[in-house]
Structure 1
Amino acid sequence: MTTDQTWAVVPAAGVGSRMGGEAGDPAKQFRELDGAPVLVHTLRALASALGVTGLVVVVGEEEVEPVRQLLSQDAPLADALKAVVAGGATRQASVARGVAHVPDEVGIVLVHDAVRPFVRAEDIEAVIQAVRASGAAALAVPVADTLRRGASGRFEATVDREGLWRMQTPQGSRREVLADALARAEREGWTATDEVGVLQRTGAAVALVEGDERNIKLTRPSDWLLARALWAHREM
C-alpha cells in the first residue's frame, strides 16, 4: 500500500573537480563548514522539513562504510537515515540506485544535491505539497541577469529572459513515476541533466515551485566563499 511518506535521495558521489583545491583535498560534499561536512548540513536541512521521513545517500563505493559510520553517529540524522549506497558512473545512474532503495510503499521521492546545504524547510515542504497535487515538482528561481550569446570572444544576440528559470533542488515526483522514468532512460540509453529532464522526456508534467536565491549549489571556489558568508547569517 502506497503512503504519503516522503524520502529524499541525495547523490553525493561526485568528485567536485570545479571546486579546485590541492591534491588530496576532500570532495566538496565532504569539506567542512562550521565544523561539519557540507553533506551533513544538507541532510540535516532535509530531515528538518515536515514530511521527510527517510534519507538515502549515494556515494562512491569506497566511501559507503565511512559515510555510513559518520552519519549514523549524527544524532539529528539517526532516525531519518535509511541507507548509504554506492553510486553509478553518472549522476543519473547514482540517482537511479538511490531510488531503487526506496520502498514501494513510500509515495514521494525527492532528489536533492548534496552540496545545497542552504535549502529552506519551507521550500522542501512546498515541493512535497506540489508533488501531492500535481505528481511532480521542482524548485527554480527566475533568471534576473541579461543573457547574451557569445562566440570567438565576442558577444552575439541577446536572449530573451522572459519565462526563463534557473533550476534548483529538491526535484521530486511520485516514487513510481520517477523510478519508471529512470528505468526507461537506462533501457533506451539516454541521459538528462536533472530529474525534471528525465521526467519531461517520458511525458510527465512538472509543477514549478519558486525557490530562494540562497539555495546555492557549491560548485566553484567563489561559491565556497559565499557559503561561509551565508552561513554566518543563516536563518536559525
Structure 2
Amino acid sequence: MVRGKTQMKRIENATSRQVTFCKRRNGLLKKAFELSVLCDAEVGLIVFSPRGKLCEYSSSSMQRTVDRYQRLARGVQNNSKAIEQSIQNLKYEAASMAKEIEILEVPKRKLLGDELESCAIEELQQIESQLVQSLSNIRGRKTQLFKEQIEQLKEKERILKAENGRLREKAWRQATRNGEMGNAVSRAGALCVGDRQEPGTRKQKAGTPILYIKIGILPLVHAK
C-alpha cells in the first residue's frame, strides 16, 4: 500500500501527536549524530516536547556549544550596531554636504542675476565688482588665446615660405641643367672632324688631316 503524503499542519489528536513527535525526534537525533560523525561538525540539538520535556544532543558539550553560539551572536549583534552607526554617520554627512552645496549655490544664482530682490546696495555693488573682474579675466584670456593663434599662423607662414623657396630653387636648378644639356648637344652636332676636302676649297697635302668647324644646328632627319 502506497503511503500517503503527510499534510503539514498541527495534529489535533493528542495521542497521535505524541507518537509522531517521538518518531520524528528519534529521526532528528539520528540525523544530528550522523552529521557530527560524517562531517566532523559540532552539533548541538535542543528539543522540547509538547509536554515540556527537554530532549538534547551534543556532539561534544552542550554548554561549550551554547557558549560558542552566544559569542558569535554577540559578535553579529555588535557588527550590526556598528553598521547601523556607520549608516547614520553617512546620512548625517550627506545632509551636511547638501546644506553646504545649497549655501554655495546662492552666490552663484545671484551672479547669474537671480534672487536679487533680497540684496542690499552694498551686496549688489559687491556682485557688480565680481562680475567686472570676471569679465576682465575673460577678456584677458580671450586676448591671450588670439595672440597664441596669431603666432601659430605666423609660424605656419614661415614654414610654407621656406618650403616654397626650396621648391623654386630646385626648379631653377633643374631648368639650368636642362639648358646646359641642350647647348652641349648643339655644339656636338656642329663639330665635325675628318680628312675629306669640301668642294671649292684649297687642296691640302696628302696625309694632312683637315679640321672643319661649323657653327649651327644639326639638320633634322625625317624617318621614312
Q: TM-score, normalised by structure 1?
A: 0.22
Q: TM-score with structure 2 length normalisation?
A: 0.22
The answer to which structure, 1 or 2, has the higher relative contact order (CA under 8 A, 6+ apart) is 1
Larger helix share, 1 or 2: 2
